[in-house]
Amino acid sequence: MRTVRLSIMGFGAVGQGVARAILQKKDYLSTMDIEPIVVGISDRGGACVEAGGVDLEAAIERKQKTGSVAASDLTALDVIKDIDHDIMVDATPTNIEDGEPGYTYMLEAFRHGRHVVTSNKGPLALKYSMLCDEADKNGVKFRFEATVGGAMPILNLAQDALAGNSVMSIEGILNGTCNYILSRMTEEGLSYKHVLGEAQELGIAETDPSYDVEGIDTACKLVILANSIFGMDVTYDDVDITGITKITPESLSLAGAEGMVIKLIGEVRDGNDGIIRVAPKLVPKNHPLAVGGTLNVALLRTDMAGPICVKGKGAGSIETASAILSDIIAICKNRC
């Protein structure tokens, strides 16, 4: 049995999902000779540390009762630098201004010889190549399947399962909130504002929805796809972005009369006619990209395998944790 020591930075929905996944999958992981031990967890309020393994159920309970997991004076950076562990899981929220605090956590983790698994798009959308260089320099792995499409495998699909293929383009719906809003507007003929309010009430949209509805979240995911799958060197500023705030119910009904729906589509294409763009697009109703609800979907065009389409849940606590766990297992198997 190989013991794998982990830290979890950020203990919101995603961080707690990771803790739950580790609890739930203990027996499954032991069949793979992996014994995960979480030696430190931190959130905005502080950190808790236990070299023999933090009691994850107690940590979740403490977070829910007190609002913080903190049980010591240590900070996240103290845990990353001073507590010996193998993999740092960064589940801090995305910040598209400067990528912090995730960016510094990742750099420090690399410098202290820790592999990094993250669900945080900000640092990758802003400073992808610097992070990869730092990981390489320190001989550690850097995996981020959870940053794009939540539970839906896309990075590992392109890089592992489709290895040997050249991916020519990827297009898809990479933001469940926008998909929910447009799907509801289409089905009910309701206005954008009305459906946004409904989505906020259901917890599908944030109080400040701009990150989702203006296409910023989709753009960050495209940057990660462009850099990691297409080997581009682009940042968030290179993406041509149009959101969904101007979409009217009448436009959806006119599209419907032509047998089409409107979806917020992210698109990356390599080569001379290369593009990296987020925009509302007309999608034929019977096309694989025409999925409803909060689903995410991606269509990869490859040279040998042809078109490959994946769809799945793009967000959610345990769904995102599923992608993080797959990265942790990949590092443990040392096959990345």
Among 200, 242, 317, 326, binds another protein (CB under 8 A): 242
Instruction: Decide if residue 251 touches another protein (CB under 8 A).
Output: yes
Residue 248 sits in the site that holds another protein (CB under 8 A): yes
Catalytic member of 25, 121, 221, 263 = 221
| DSSP structural state of residue 72 | B
Asked if 289 is part of the footprint of another protein (rule: CB under 8 A), the reply reads yes
Binding status of residue 281 toward another protein by CB under 8 A: yes
Give the residue among 125, 70, 71 at the shortest CA–CA distance from 102.
125
Dihedral (C-alpha) 319, 262, 289, 164: value to the nearest 10 degrees? Answer: -90
Using CB under 8 A as the binding rule, whether residue 282 contacts another protein is answered as: yes
For another protein, the binding residue among 279, 295, 310, 318 (CB under 8 A) is 279
Alpha-carbon distance 323 to 195, whole Å? 29
Q: Is the peptide bond before 288 cis (omega within 30 degrees of 0)?
A: no
**163 near 191, Cβ under 8 Å?**
no
From 54, 76, 152, 247, residue interacting with another protein (rule: CB under 8 A): 247
Q: Are 179 and 296 in contact (CB under 8 A)?
A: yes
Residue 148 CB, shortest distance to another protein, in Å, is 19
Burial 55-90 (b: 16+ CB within 10 A, else e): ebeebbebbeeeebbbbeebebbbbbeebebbbbbb
Based on the residue annotation, tell me whether 127 is a catalytic residue of this protein.
Answer: no
Nearer to another protein, 224 or 289 (CB): 289
Give the H/E segment covering residue 225.
helix 216-229
Q: State in angstroms the smallest separation of the CB of 179 from another protein.
A: 15
Report residue 126 as tokens. Answer: 């802003």
Minimum Å gap between C-beta 69 and another protein is 44
- Only one of the segments 84-92, 145-153, 218-226, 246-254 lies at the binding site for another protein (rule: CB under 8 A); that segment is 246-254
Q: E-strand spans in the chain?
A: 2-9, 34-43, 46-49, 87-90, 115-118, 142-143, 167-173, 240-241, 260-269, 275-284, 295-302, 306-313
Give the length of the chain: 336
Binding span for another protein by CB under 8 A among 18-26, 153-161, 212-220, 250-258:
250-258
Q: Between 64 and 253, whose beta carbon lies closer to another protein?
A: 253
Does 171 bind another protein (CB under 8 A)? Our answer is yes
Residues 300-319 that bind another protein (CB under 8 A): 301, 307
Q: What is the contact surface with another protein in residues (CB under 8 A)?
A: 171, 242, 246-248, 250-251, 253-255, 257-258, 260, 262, 265, 279-284, 287-289, 299, 301, 307
Q: Which residues are catalytic?
A: 221
